[in-house]
Chains A and B, each alone.
Chain A
Amino acid sequence: DAKTTQPNSMESNEEEPVHLPCNHSTISGTDYIHWYRQLPSQGPEYVIHGLTSNVNNRMASLAIAEDRKSSTLILHRATLRDAAVYYCILFNLRDDKIIFGKGTRLHILP
């Protein structure tokens, strides 16, 4: 399975933007980049995904590097509720499954 590398933890202030990085230097041309987050005591929650172009939805934005070897999840205005573990995952339709890494624990400071 293709691997991703994320910082173990990050801190951000409430109401400020947050940029969560992810490196995936061995990404293949057919790997999608998925982001999930897990709030305390809950199951993981889908956030966003993309292939080559930047993507926006109501939760976040995904910025993908031109060479696709890295990506950044952007939370435009962090709230305390965004404190969670964020997982960056490569997903290939051939594999039928996703494998989670350790993710980044995001702390939001009031």
Chain B
Amino acid sequence: DAGITQSPRHKVTETGTPVTLRCHQTENHRYMYWYRQDPGHGLRLIHYSYGVKDTDKGEVSDGYSVSRSKTEDFLLTLESATSSQTSVYFCAIRGQVNYGYTFGSGTRLTVV
């Protein structure tokens, strides 16, 4: 598929533990995004990046941090996971001009 992979695909973790989700792309795209999807809320933007070391907050950034030290990787970290962060997380990439977004297959995170 389109050169974007998310890892892990599934994770169960305990409340209070740190968790890092990885998004890796092989398209050399400038823009990368993290969304979460929950029933009743649809897709909500957490953080996004418009270049190496350039990131910004989205709609629901509290409790999350991100890092982008190289073009191909965008990491989402939950410093201390809570049950409210149980969700499906999607990463997306976009090229330089008005191309459509390409989404990864998602990471299902369960915080118990």
- Considering the complex, give the chain A residue whose CB is closest to the CB of B4: A43
Report the interface size class on chain B.
20 to 34
* Count of CB-CB pairs between chains A and B under 8 Å: 46
Q: Mark B23-65, 1 if CB is under 8 A from A, else 0.
A: 0000000010101000000111100101000001011000000
Closest CB in chain A relative to B89 CB, distance in Å: 10
B105 touches A42 (CB 8 A): yes
Residue ranges of B at the interface with A (Cβ–Cβ < 8 Å): 31, 33, 35, 42-45, 48, 50, 56, 58-59, 90, 92, 97-98, 100-106
List 22 interface pairs A-B (beta carbons < 8 Å), by A numbering. Answer: A42-B105, A43-B92, A43-B105, A43-B106, A44-B90, A44-B92, A44-B101, A45-B103, A46-B101, A49-B98, A49-B100, A96-B48, A96-B50, A96-B56, A97-B33, A98-B45, A99-B59, A100-B35, A100-B43, A100-B44, A101-B42, A102-B42
